[in-house]
């Protein structure tokens, strides 16, 4: 999928396909890249997430822009807005969870970690990832925090799927989630805040790398 996505993205950015052009059919792309149509569909979803294309049911996929959107939209929320809210809510929430969590909260979080570590289906993992962040918010003991994260759960799911598809984030996210839960288990407020901050910083860096890879190539930053 990554090879197909990179090839189509390059063709669009090199203006082989201009804005408004219709991309070849799934069948034609499947034959060209010698992969299944399901792989082609995944790559096309990646292009759409980048803001490069738009899909019209029954008509096909059309080029919408010559380069990726600098502020991709996930559901109802632009990336910039979503990240800003997550930093101002989820980082302090992790600290509250460390102070106020119950044994039941910790049990749920640890079971989620175990399920995510063994999950092989991308869609199922994304659902668990979203549930993980909602559960951390609920463990804060303040129901408003849980409702705030639940409100953006669709956007979180879309962002998570985007990062996994284009940024290969699953394994590293599992490690970062483990660090968050370990700090919550230890009732270490500072460590929980730091672990969540690290997690969201990695998310932001990966998003930037996907949208503007040249920024990290120039700076030499680790994109993960």
Residue 56's domain spans which residues?
2-63
Q: Could you tell me if 109 and 167 lie in one domain?
A: yes
Residue 124 lies in a domain: yes
Q: Are residues 23 and 51 in the same domain?
A: yes
Instruction: Verify that 112 and 164 share a domain, yes or no.
Output: yes
Are 103 and 20 in a shared domain?
Answer: no
Q: Are residues 77 and 188 in the same domain?
A: yes
- pTM, two decimal places: 0.80
- Alpha carbons 53 and 10: distance in angstroms, whole number: 13
Looking at the structure, do residues 102 and 199 belong to the same domain, yes or no? yes
Whether residue 113 lies inside any domain: the answer is yes
Is there a domain that residue 57 lies in? Answer: yes
Residue 107 inside a domain? The answer is yes
**What CATH code is carried by the domain that includes residue 88?**
1.20.120.530
Q: State whether 131 and 90 are in the same domain.
A: yes
Query: Residues 92, 165: one domain?
Result: yes
pLDDT tens for the chain, 224 residues long, are 778 988 999 999 899 999 999 999 999 999 999 999 998 988 898 888 788 999 998 899 999 998 877 788 888 888 899 999 999 999 999 999 999 999 999 999 999 999 999 999 988 999 999 999 999 999 999 999 999 999 999 999 989 988 887 888 999 999 999 999 999 999 999 999 999 999 999 999 999 888 876 544 433 445 45
In a domain, 106, yes or no: yes
102 and 19 in a common domain = no
Residue 159 resides in a domain:
yes
**Is residue 51 located within the same domain as residue 112?**
no
Q: Are 29 and 41 in contact (CB under 8 A)?
A: no
Instruction: Give the count of domains, the chain.
Output: 2
Residue 55 sits in the same domain as residue 77: no
Dihedral sign from CA coordinates of 44, 36, 167, 77 = positive
pLDDT tens digits along 63-78: 999 887 778 888 888 8
Q: How many residues does the chain have?
A: 224
Are 211 and 70 a contacting pair, CB within 8 Å?
yes
For residue range 74-105, what is the model confidence (pLDDT) as tens digits?
888 888 999 999 999 999 999 999 999 999 99
The three state secondary structure string of 17-55 is: CCCCCECCCHHHHHHHHCCCHHHHHHHHHHHHHCCCEEE
CATH of residue 13: 1.10.10.10
Flag whether 201 is in a domain.
Answer: yes
Residues 50 and 121 occupy one common structural domain: no
User: Is residue 28 assigned to a domain?
Assistant: yes
């Amino acid at each position: 999928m990554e090879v197909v996505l990179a090839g189509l993205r390059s063709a669009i950015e090199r203006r082989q396909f201009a804005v408004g052009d219709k991309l070849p059919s799934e069948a034609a792309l499947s034959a060209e890249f010698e992969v299944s149509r399901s792989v082609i569909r995944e790559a096309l979803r990646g292009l759409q997430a980048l803001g490069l294309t738009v899909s019209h049911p029954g008509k096909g996929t059309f080029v919408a822009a010559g380069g990726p959107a600098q502020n991709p939209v996930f559901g109802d929320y632009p990336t910039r807005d979503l990240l800003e809210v997550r930093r101002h809510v989820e980082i302090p929430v992790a600290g509250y969870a460390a102070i106020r969590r119950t044994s039941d909260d910790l049990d749920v979080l640890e079971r989620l970690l175990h399920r995510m570590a063994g999950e092989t289906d991308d869609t199922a993992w994304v659902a668990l990832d979203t549930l993980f962040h909602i559960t951390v918010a609920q463990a804060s003991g303040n129901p408003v925090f849980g409702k705030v994260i639940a409100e953006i759960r669709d956007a979180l799911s879309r962002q998570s799927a985007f990062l996994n598809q284009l940024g290969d984030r699953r394994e590293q996210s599992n490690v970062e989630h483990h660090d968050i839960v370990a700090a919550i288990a230890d009732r270490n407020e500072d460590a929980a805040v730091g672990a969540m901050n690290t997690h969201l910083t990695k998310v932001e860096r990966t998003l930037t790398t996907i949208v503007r890879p040249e920024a990290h190539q120039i700076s030499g930053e680790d994109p993960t």
